[in-house]
Amino acid sequence: MSSFVFNRLRTLASHLMTQDVEIIITANSHRTQDRNRQDARDRLADFIRQATIQQKCRRPTKPSRSAKTKHADQKKQRGAIKKNRGRVSKSDY
């Protein structure tokens, strides 16, 4: 097992690992011991399969200048609409 997969497995299954870096998976959803063992093996295989998948690096992005000005204009318009709201007078009924 490569160090990348091991480190990724350590982050994915850290709640199941002991101090000696052993993964403990309990399975008791089935009636028989054989099916429970197979279930535990399947779950371990799923953890290892997930650990082999390399995540994409997140590229930090920020809004463009035009997007910022558009957002500010929309906020101003919305604020103006709310500011012009008033109480309904009895003559409007």
Residue found under tokens 């403990």: 24
For residue 59, what pLDDT is reported? 92
End-to-end CA gap in the chain: 78
pLDDT (tens digit per residue) in 9-45: 888 888 888 888 888 999 999 999 999 999 999 999 9
CA 68/CA 85 separation, integer angstroms? 26
Q: Does residue 58 have a pLDDT over 80?
A: yes
For residue 83, what pLDDT is reported? 87
Helices (H) and strands (E) in the chain, counts: 3, 0
Residue found under tokens 């709201």: 85
> What distances in angstroms separate CA 80 from CA 14, 53, 74, 86, one per listed residue?
52, 50, 10, 12
* 0.85 exceeded by pTM: no
Query: Of 40-44, 48-52, 85-89, which range is least confident?
Result: 85-89
For residue 11, what pLDDT is reported? 87
Q: What contacts 76, CB < 8 A, 6 or more positions away?
A: none
Structure tokens belonging to residue 92: 């409007």
pLDDT (tens digit per residue) in 60-73: 999 999 999 999 99
Q: Does residue 90 have a pLDDT over 80?
A: no
